[in-house]
Structure 1
Amino acid sequence: MSTPLAERIRPLTLEDYLSQQHLIGNNGALTQQIKSGVFSSMIFWGPPGTGKTTLATIIASQSERPFYQLSAIDSGVAAIRAVIEKAKQADTLFTSKNPILFIDEIHRFSKSQQDSLLGAVEKGLVTLIGATTENPSFEVIPALLSRCQVYILKSFTRKDLGDLLIRAIEKDAILKQYNINIKEDEALIRLSGGDARKLLNMLELVVLSDVQKNTSNERTTVTVTNAMVLNKVQKNTVLYDKTGEQHYDIISAFIKSIRGSDPNAAVYWLARMIEGGEDVKFIARRLLILASEDIGNANPNALLLATSTFQAVTSIGYPEARIILSQCVIYLATSAKSNASYKAINTAQQLVKQTGDLSVPLSIRNAPTKLMKELGYGKNYEYAHDYENNFVPHEFLPEEIKGTVFYTPGDNPKENHLRNYLKKLWKDRYDY
């Protein structure tokens, strides 16, 4: 048997497609587009095994469009150009039946490969559907991203996975040869991590490895239990699941260890991720966020080092990137901490939502024309550099919220210095 179970029961219609109701349900973001057959290029972003390829093939089938599929792993610019040339020859330009070009793992395409898609997408020669497990904001070039709608696919829910098990047992020609009783499914569900493909692969492994030669006319009975699954599957399952619950638990432990100034625990969790095959760029991105959110102006160099770390691991890759990550993690864990900048923007955004679009004070409005100057734009603005110590106590906030404090310096040497500096400048206006 060469075709995996997941491929044998891949759904061919939307009616058979499980999960992603936020996209293809009654009020789904894609529902009307799919029904009408008119849609723009798009990118499906989600964990492995969430139906990205399946959804793309169903869209192509339902819209009756030619369907070309490439994988970023083994396709280069030449392959892309060959598909685009086929689309030109099909003479479908300016119709709703232009071909669909599906590119799996589009995040693996280089900039030049992605650039080669721009013209065809822009002119409508092809409708691009890209699939990625990585954040397209980081992995897809801006010019291509701006021409696509991004749709997020979610991991399968427990109910989805349970329904998928039932469908496999009832519909698959091979599994129907046996009496399969799923007495317990907790281990299958947990180890799948929301990945439908992994779930079906495990089910097939467990069932076929348990089948004994049966000389009678009765069908072989297989009873699936948690113990059976753990015994036959877990030995071959990586302890760190990049797409499952443990992924989120370990990254949480990692971030909290650094925030809690424990370099030993932080390096341990870093090692767990590295050994589990986590993308080093994902780790570096989280360090970038942490450097600003949890350290901030208590140590501005933290963000600089985190930025350099991201650039370095992107250039170097595994395994040497682990050394750079370790250095950065230890530096961040042993640094002074402050979330004052993080709290400041949260407070400011909340006030903006509450107060709406307050008017910019006239004195600090831009006045590029004579009319604007006559209307008082920029009038009475005090240019800080014209005053002693490059400072004058001007009013920069809207009248309705003047004097509001968003930034409260943290209690650490760097920000205590900032507090004293601000108090010297503003006296009692902001109560520093």
Structure 2
Amino acid sequence: MNDDLFASPAGAQPLASALRPARASDVIGQTHLLADGKPLSRCLQGEPLHSMILWGPPGVGKTTLAQLLCDASDSRMLKLSAVMDGVKAIREAVAMGEAERASGRQCVLFVDEVHRFNKSQQDAFLPFVENGTLTLIGATTENPAFELNSALLSRARVYRLKSLSVDELVMILRRGEIEVGLTLSEPQRERLALAADGDARRVLNLLELAASLKADSGRLDDAGFEEVLQGSPRRFDKNGDNFYDQISALHKAVRGSSPDAALYWYCRMLDGGCDPLYLARRVIRMASEDIGNADPRALSLSLDAWQTLERLGSPEGELALAQAITYIASVPKSNAVYVAFKAAQRAVAEGGSDEVPVHLRNAPTALAKSEGHGAEYRYAHDEPDAFAAGESYFPESLDGSHFYEPTDRGLEGRIRARLDDLRERDRRSERRRYR
């Protein structure tokens, strides 16, 4: 097995690789992990290296940090890619780790995209991490709590790396400009940094493209610069953490009655390539969960927007969904139906299989009638205000249970007033079924 399975073929070195920091002092960003006294800073200054998971979005320095940590501890670094390698490569790494350990040297196994290893692959190197044959440094863009075995997580510390700020990306651009012989204006640097969306690799790739279009003066005109920026979407990893973080932000903006923020996250997800029909389904959920009977029109409008989107497609149908989002974010909120539904589910799950009370049973046959099905049932329409005061529609064990407690917001306030009145009439009735 080669020490580095990511080695590039002979040829021009990519700018991102050429500018990879060779010293800890050259690293830009991640100050929350590299400041004096922080665990990674202490490792870079000579403390013993421990197994760890470096978790963060692409292009924030996970591989760079792993290499610097190995250099600082004078360890041998073996690299695997969870995309390309399997158990055979892991066994080879273990054999090399055992040989290094016998010679008194620490061996670090760096696994890129470690979340892509399945359970059996993770189990294959777990014993050797535990006994010290290998020190694991895993890099992942996905939440380790969801993607990695708990046994592995218990033996490794997790460090969360952050996206780089615009100012940090501008600093990287300044270094890169010297390398490629291009001078950008301050507005051009800022726009490239914004387009890179926190990713150092992406900003340097954009810079390389810009350098290929520069004039003899070493500068880039406006037309060339716009060509560089064309087709550079924001970061959006469908079904990854970023995806679920954004849909969470959209849902919470709606719940928090912020139509402006809701529209922003909606457009961010569209910009990242999210299926609008997925968003339509989530909007319907929001209308039911967070508005409910405070404004039942929210659900109807959301369904109408979904149908419009299905009939017109994108981009025309996306406007109808934007209309629904702004509406449901603006109207009164109530989760009373959602809470009631969950409470009823718990009552069913925790209770027994109560029989349907005889007076509520269906009586389609003479036999059923002879057994009393439907007897003493009070037909509500024959009662004052079409309400049979004192009647119960629960099994006796649940009589008097209340799951649905409307709020006083929107239409639900009127519903609450009516239910309060009906419940009071039930309490006063001399014809209460269960006493």
- Distance in 1 between the 2:109 and 2:169 partners? 29
Local SS of the residue matching 1:166: helix
Tell me the equivalent position of 1:358.
Answer: none
Q: CA deviation at 1:204?
A: 0.9
Distance 2:263 2:33 in 1: 39
Amino acid of the residue matched to residue 183 of structure 2?
I
Cα deviation, 1:18-45, whole Å, max 9, x if unaligned, reads 1111111223331113323413210011
Q: Deviations over 1:61-83 (max 9, x none)?
A: 11100001111111111111110
Where 2:42 maps in the other structure, the secondary structure is: helix
Indicate the residue corresponding to 1:222 in structure 2.
218
Counterparts of 1:194-205 in structure 2, within 5 Å, are: 194-205=198-209
Aligned counterparts of 2:87 and 2:18: Cα–Cα separation in 1? 31
For the structure 1 residues 221 and 44, does the alpha-carbon distance in structure 2 shift closer, same or farther, using more than 3 Å as the test?
Answer: same
Q: 1:49 and 2:59 equivalent?
A: yes
Say if 2:210 is the partner of 1:206. Answer: yes
- 1:188·1:226 contact (CA, 8 Å) conserved in 2? no
Provide the C-alpha distance between the structure 2 equivalents of 1:92 and 1:110, rounded to a whole number of angstroms: 29
| Deviation (angstroms), 1:90 | 2.2
What amino acid is the match of 1:128? L
Q: Which has the larger radius of gyration?
A: 2
The worse-fitting range, judged by mean Cα deviation, of 142-151 and 251-260 is: 251-260
| Partner amino acid, structure 2, of 1:125 | T
**Residues 249 and 37 of structure 1: is their aligned pair in 2 closer, same or farther, counting only changes over 3 Å?**
closer
Q: Distance in 2 between matches of 1:163 and 1:141?
A: 38
CA RMSD of aligned residues (A): 4.7
In structure 2, what is the equivalent of residue 235 of structure 1?
Answer: 230
| 1:64 corresponds to 2:60 | no
Q: CA deviation at 1:17?
A: 1.1
- Which residue of structure 1 lines up, in the alignment, with residue 163 of structure 2? 155
Q: What does 1:16-27 correspond to in 2, within 5 Å?
A: 16-27=26-37
Q: Secondary structure at the match of 1:44?
A: strand
Q: 1:182 maps to what in 2?
A: 185
- Superposed, 1:346-357 pairs within 5 Å as none
For structure 2, the residue ranges without an aligned partner over 5 or more in a row are: 1-10, 294-323, 340-395, 400-404, 425-435
Report the residue type matching 1:234 in the other structure. Answer: L
On the 8 A contact 2:292/2:333 being kept in 1, the answer is yes
Correspondence for 1:39 among 28, 43, 49: 49
Note if 1:13 corresponds to 2:13: no
Inter-CA distance 226–10: structure 2 relative to 1 (3 Å threshold): farther
* Distance in structure 1 (CA, Å) of the matches to 2:137 and 2:416: 52
Task: Please state how far the C-alpha of 1:48 moved relative to its aligned partner.
Answer: 0.6
CA–CA distance in structure 2, aligned partners of residues 200 and 268 of structure 1: 27
Amino acid at match of 2:156: C
Conserved 8 A contact 2:250-2:265: yes
Counterpart of 1:255 in structure 2 is: 251
Identity %: 38
User: Which residue of structure 2 aligns with residue 104 of structure 1?
Assistant: 112
Q: CA deviation at 1:259?
A: 4.5
Given that residues 43 and 129 in structure 1 are in contact (C-alpha distance below 8 angstroms), is that contact kept between their aligned partners in structure 2?
yes
Task: Measure how far apart 1:228 and its partner are.
Answer: 3.8
Q: What is the CA–CA distance in structure 2 between the aligned matches of 1:152 and 1:15, rounded to whole Å?
A: 20
Contact 2:177/2:184 (8 A) holds in 1: no
Tell me the residue number matched to 2:146: 138
CA apart distance, 1:142: 1.1
Q: Is the 8 A contact 1:250 1:273 kept in 2?
A: yes
Shift of residue 237 of structure 1? Answer: 2.0
Is the contact made by 1:182 and 1:225 (CA closer than 8 Å) also made in structure 2? Answer: no
CA distance in 2, matches of 1:67, 1:224: 40
Amino acid at match of 2:125: L
After superposition, the C-alpha distances for 1:162-204 in whole angstroms (9 at most, x for unaligned) are 111111223x3xx1xx352434222101100010000000011
Secondary structure of the residue that 2:219 maps to in structure 1? strand
User: Quick check: 246-255 or 112-121, which moved more?
Assistant: 246-255
Give how far 1:133 is off: 0.9
Q: 1:67-82 counterparts in 2 under 5 A?
A: 67-82=77-92
- Per-residue deviation, 1:225: 6.3
Give 1:224 shift. 4.1
TM-score for both structures, normalised by structure 2? 0.57
In the alignment, residue 236 of structure 2 is paired with which amino acid? K
Correspondence 1:295 to 2:289: yes
Judged with a 3 Å threshold, the aligned counterparts in structure 2 of structure 1 residues 268 and 55 are, in CA distance, closer, same or farther, namely closer
Q: Tell me the alpha carbon deviations over residues 314-364 of structure 1, each in whole angstroms, 9 at most, x when there is no partner.
A: xxxxxxxxxxxxxxxx9xx99x96458999xxxxxxxxxxxxxxxxxxxxx
Distance 1:74 1:169, change over 3 A: same
